[in-house]
Amino acid sequence: MDTSWRSRLTSLLLAVWSYIRSAPGTYVWLAVLFVTTVVMHHVSPSQLDDLLGERSTNLHNLSEDPVRALIRSALWISGGGWLFYAFLYTVFHATAERWLGTLRWLTVVLIGHVVATYISEGVLLWAIRHGRAPETSVDTLDVGVSYGLAVVEAVLTYFLVFRWRFFYGFCVLGFYGLALVHGRTFTDVGHFTAVLLGFACYPLTRGRPGHLDPAAVFSRAVRRISRDG
């Protein structure tokens, strides 16, 4: 490897490390998810069901020890591979944490995770009591990080310059709204609730510096490619 390529590689690695350090909460969370994902791939299906059942934010666990259930459920991925979530965390969570700061970002995530969980499980409880869902639904598996991701996707609406906010916000609302209309499960309710909560987190975004203009970013990228080419 010649000196120029070594220099470029070093610069790239330093840039990646700098980006990771700028969003510590996001990447510590991802590191934990990596460990738990490895664990999931090294247990039998029956053991996995028991493992996730103990960490589920279902009605049974929320009634027994809600704080423990809420924390543990956010440390496991219920579907999709870790690399997929690493991509989503880098695009959404890391961007939000760098913009809002770790404390405000974490506040948004907790609002989405906790409130959306209780509302979705409340809908499920209503369904059980009115005969629309079986009694066994109190132990329905509900683990994962998707409510926290949905709330952050929504709050990033305010990271964009004004003329892009309505388009992006409409896309986020439409994506989860269509899932709710077609799926109509308690998790669909939770995701849609998390999006609404993200929009409601506007006060936490006030005073934060900088707003992204996608058109300007695209234009700069095109100019740079043309210049380098």
Helix 186-200 × helix 162-183 angle, to 10°: 160
Digit-coded pLDDT (tens) for 9-61: 777 888 889 999 999 999 999 999 999 999 998 888 888 888 899 999 999 99
| Residue 195 contacts residue 151 (beta carbons within 8 Å) | yes
Report the C-alpha gap between 210 and 229 in whole angstroms. 30
The CA distance from 107 to 116, in Å, is 14
Q: Which CATH architecture has domain 3-224?
A: Up-down Bundle (1.20)
Measured N-to-C along each axis, helices 102-129 and 66-73 cross at an angle, to the nearest 10 degrees, of 110
pTM above 0.85, yes or no: yes
The amino acid sitting at 120 is: S
Q: Please check whether residue 90 is in contact with residue 179, taking contact to mean a CB–CB distance below 8 angstroms.
A: no
Mean pLDDT of 121-141: 92
Residue range 70-93, pLDDT digits in tens: 999 999 997 768 999 999 999 999
Average pLDDT value for residue range 64-74:
95
Give the model confidence (pLDDT) of 181-195 as tens digits.
Answer: 999 899 999 999 999
pLDDT digits (tens, 9 = 90+) for 161-180: 988 999 999 999 999 999 99
**Residue 222 pLDDT:** 59
